[in-house]
Chain A
Amino acid sequence: MPKLTIDGIAVEVPPNTTILQAAESVGVEIPRFCYHDRLSIAGNCRMCLVDVEKSPKPVASCAMPVGEGMVVHTKSDRANKARGGVMEFLLINHPLDCPICDQGGECDLQDQAMAYGFDRGRFHENKRAVKDKYMGPVIETVMTRCIHCTRCVRFATEVAGVPQLGATGRGEDMEITTYLEGALASEMSGNVVDLCPVGALTSKPYAFNARPWELRKTESVDVMDAVGTNIRVDARGRTVLRVLPRVNEDVNEEWLADKSRHACDGLRYQRLDQPYVRVNGKLKAASWDETFAVIVGKLSGINGSKVAAIAGDTVDAESMLALKDLLTALGSPNLDCRQDGAALDPTVRASYLFNSTIAGIEQADALVIIGSNPRKEAPVLNARIRKRYLKGNFQVTVVGDAVDLTYKHKHLGNDLAAFFQSPEAPAGAKNPMIIVGMGALSRPDGAAILAAARAYAEAIGAVKDGWNGFNVLHTAAARVGGLDLGFVPGQGGKDTRGILDAAGKGEIEVVYLLGADEIDTAKLGNAFVIYQGHHGDRGAHRADVVLPGAAYTEKDGTYVNTEGRVQRGLRAVFPPGDAREDWTIIRALSEKLGKTLPYDNMAQVRARLNFVNPLFGTVDKVQPAEWKAFGAAGQISSGSASSPITNYYMTDPISRASRTMAQCTEEFVMGSKQKTGTHG
């Protein structure tokens, strides 16, 4: 453990720590552009120069390991002068166009120029100019501003696993570009915008929309996938302008997937901002009272068993709880939160959780993926798998789609029956883990697959004291929350498939869809459909009554991610028009129906949530689940276990309404546009 002195503070750090890291550990901040603690060290910006005694020259602290007895001065005249010189060189070829630059106000170069910049330039020659590059629908480029820190190149190569970015040429002619100027084909590409310390890479959808000081920042949780990425929602007035990641080492580190980041413009289009009632086959705007009267009229005199409810993929736990309580009060056992019909066992919590936790992936030494494509289903989680893979000694086996997961893996075909007949165990693994995806579990024989996967996990030693490597990767943010609070068929109740069948036959007369858009609405037959949600999507098209609810940025909500981590999102903006927070709609309806729910405010709803399942009280923590038998014996039919996500960019009503996601779909899913002469 070398001991050194930094600005007069004695510090002892592990060997191989860099001076910059050691300085950070005692709260001494050193300016930097190229250094980033989650990327490899490049040492090419030279901004982090410090003065080390007995060293003839200033030292780049990001790349210099500490030594015993070093005496470092980070604020000496020599260090300041060196940084001033570096800054002057950086600004030689940097256009001083801050007033028209989107990074203005949150630009590292701008901030550090305030500290180290000279008050005038001494460079009177022509500055260089660089042609802007095309990098896809979400990244705007102004390459003249680039200072060649290569953070974006290292991110694409190391974290995203798509080595398409690079620096061509050299010296003054160095340019950052993608290969042949194609779009950066990664689900994580938006992160290079956060990493860019200047305004060279900025967000295309957010271009010229706002300055950072105009925005109201609200901490929240993402619902576009089941990872529960921690986000910050930036809004101005009633509009969400952008979504940025927050740091959470246990979940997303500091990354955010493109859909979660850029689907927010979908919150502005296709919104349900007032209640509708279907009259003579057409939806007509109505008031809340009229709408409730129609529902009350329909529900009165109907046996509870003829009523059913399906909860969607992005619903918060509070509204699911309210709807469950309402259905129970009406005497209906027909409710399900598994739109895709996945055979998840709600009685055993370990059977539907990502038990090893996302951070726990780094402790595993082998991975078997069954019927899942984590790159599309949970890009941030896939980045964690890649991080583990890069450390070496990590074998990955895949049964399912043959796809590029950004890490090397052994593909064992796409036939689950064949795989489970002669399962192949990862050789010599101490902490193996398996990921079972919805591609496998949502098949009609899902229960048998779940049992087979459990047996397989036990056989390869993935479940033992101190290690549970049995993982279910969900595709829906609401799924684990729904299962935890028991939004599943009650005694003799029907599940999603059963509800659709019965509705088609006329046995179920009223179906309540709470943000459920991923079911086949054609199967609902002649049932009376109440749709509560925020977007005019599939559910609303079929609905007889539409109740306008709030999207995830417009309500306080509790979400449980695929690990079973309870997280709370906060309201960033108000819902549009007459739309209301979802649980309040159900509460109001219950009063009209004469079955008033016993809660009037959020605190009471959360108290009820804690009562239903005490786990909801342990926010931001993962409670290990007890390992028990689950699944059902049965025949596994041969057939593929393809991921349910065919188009990553459009999986829910918000992303389907988003223009940016439509552009991404066009670029990445439908194949690159044929470039014409006008494309530069």
Chain B
Amino acid sequence: MSNRSLAKEQPASFAFNAEYLARAKVVIAKYPPGRQASAVIPLLDFAQRQEGWVTRPAIEEIGKMLDMATMRVLEVATFYTMFNLEPVGKTHVQVCTSLPCWLRGSNEVVKACKEKLSLGMGERSADGAFSLGELECSGACVNAPVIQIGDDYYEDVDYASTGKLLDAFKRGETPAHGSAIGRMGSAPAGDQITLTENPTPPPKQDFAAAKAAFEKAKAEAAAKAAAPKA
């Protein structure tokens, strides 16, 4: 992660479109009056979804909408790496390079992306179709290495599958997300090595007998307590 600051070139203005404005109002209404600032992260996300990245006018507009200082909005926007502070490509490819993914070979994945897209880290292609970036731990370490494109995770990728994936995007397709090696969710990658046999059912219990024994013990205790003391 490098120093995150606002992009040099910024659009002149920002306004939410009707759809996102309606959604923003729903989010703001979730919080009690005077606490609207809690809605800052969803609103920044809406702005990013609408514009593709978080612009300075958007930060200022959100500050006004939530009655909070612009600096406070900027703090949030620069804190979370999920907010793109510079324009990104139509297909924004982010490779997780945190430790678990790196151990599982994210270097190879990064190499594949760089070769396929002819882009360096943090760069955007001239036609605006692709951009390449790093991702802080995506929280999917079980399926490392992980690539995030848009809202989707492409998991268990390696050099070859990354190439195929990017080729598909270049053709304009949107391949199915999930594991590249076809495993279900986070299930083991190979065969199961534990819990292989069918579980034995628990032993049957005679609840009627147990209840009778309990009642009997209770009655005996009561009789003992009622008996005159010797």
Contacts and interface: CB of A to CB of B under 8 A. Distances in A.
Interface in A159-192: 163-171, 173, 175, 178-180
The majority secondary structure among interface residues of chain A is mixed
B3 A169 contact: yes
Quick one: which of A157, A163, A168, A178 has the most chain B CB within 10 A? A168
A359 B2 CA distance: 47
Interface in A425-452: none
Nearest to A130: B3
Nearest to B6: A180
A346 B69 CA distance: 45
A545 B152 CA distance: 84
B3 A179 contact: no
Quick one: which of B5, B70, B71 has the most chain A CB within 10 A? B71
A179 B5 CA distance: 11
Nearest to B71: A166
Contacts of A178: 71
B1 interface: yes
Q: How large is the interface on A (under 10, 10 to 19, 20 to 34, 35 or more residues)?
A: 10 to 19
A179 B70 contact: yes
6 contacts: A157-B69, A164-B69, A168-B5, A171-B1, A178-B71, A179-B71
A168 B78 contact: yes
Interface in B1-30: 1-6
Nearest to B69: A163
B35 interface: no
Contact of B4 (A157, A165, A173): A173
B71 A163 contact: yes
B71 A170 contact: no
Given A171-B1, A173-B1, 17 more contacts: A157-B69, A163-B72, A164-B71, A165-B71, A166-B71, A166-B72, A166-B75, A168-B74, A168-B78, A169-B78, A170-B78, A175-B3, A178-B71, A179-B70, A179-B74, A180-B6, A180-B56
A341 B157 CA distance: 82
A169 B71 CA distance: 12
A329 to B, nearest CB: 60
Nearest to A164: B71
B2 A166 contact: no
A171 B1 CA distance: 10
A175 B6 CA distance: 13
A53 B213 CA distance: 50
Interface in A113-166: 157, 163-166
Contacts of B207: none
Contacts of A164: 69, 71
A422 B25 CA distance: 40
B214 interface: no
Interface in B34-69: 56, 69
A166 B59 CA distance: 14
B44 to A, nearest CB: 14
Interface string B68-94: 011110110011000000000000000
Interface in A451-495: none
A306 to B, nearest CB: 60
A133 to B, nearest CB: 11
Contacts of A163: 69, 71-72
Across the A-B interface, give the 8 residue pairs with the lowest CB-CB distance, nearest first: A163-B69, A166-B71, A168-B78, A179-B71, A166-B75, A170-B79, A169-B78, A173-B3
A85 to B, nearest CB: 24
Nearest to B79: A170
